[in-house]
Amino acid sequence: MIETIKKTTIDNIYAYFIVLVGIGFFFPLEALGVPSQYYVFAFGLKILVFLIYGVSILPAIILAKLTYMLLMSDIGSDPMLAIHLSLISATAPAIAMYAMNMTNVNTLKNLSKIDFRHVIFFIGLTSILSSLTKYIYITNFMPLDSEAAAFLSNYLLGHLIGGFVVVYLAVKLVPNFYLFIAKFAMKKN
């Protein structure tokens, strides 16, 4: 029992830093005039962390999103909005993963052996859940206008692209990167 708690705590710490560094990496780009569309890759990192560690890292994702929103983004001036959007952003992948696990789809731990069709479905389901719940939440404070469909489609498309790109690169490039490092280390010895 204590080993499980210890492992979950360590997983949460890793997940927190992966997501926070991933989000924070794109934050300075805004000062350089880079369009905000590049922030979609932060969504992909969040998806990747859920695929690696599972639902147990939900507290880390909430805390990482909240840390980013309060300290680095423009939302920091409204702490309640930051808390609500952090909860929505973190729980969408958890709900999608829970729904997939209820249908006996194994999405956890070994990314190199995972069926990429399941990953595509997970990214799509998470994108839809996250986009719709954020849209519904935000429209409670803003009037519904003609740009609502454009907002929702851009948000959904950004999540899909960011999720696919990051997870695909992690599945295809990271194993090769580890092999390169291992070969380099062997040559040194």
For residue 121, name the pLDDT band (cuts at 50, 70, 90): confident
In Å, how far are 3, 13, 68 from 83, measured between CA atoms?
31, 20, 11
- Prediction pTM value: 0.78
What local confidence, expressed as pLDDT, does residue 185 receive? 46
State how many domains the chain has: 1
**Domain extent at residue 33:** 2-188
Give the pLDDT confidence of 60-97 residue by residue, as tens digits: 999 998 888 888 777 767 788 888 888 888 899 889 88
Give the pLDDT confidence of 125-181 residue by residue, as tens digits: 998 898 888 888 877 766 666 666 777 777 788 888 888 888 888 777 766 655 555
The CA distance from 12 to 61, in Å, is 8
What letter represents residue 86's amino acid?
S
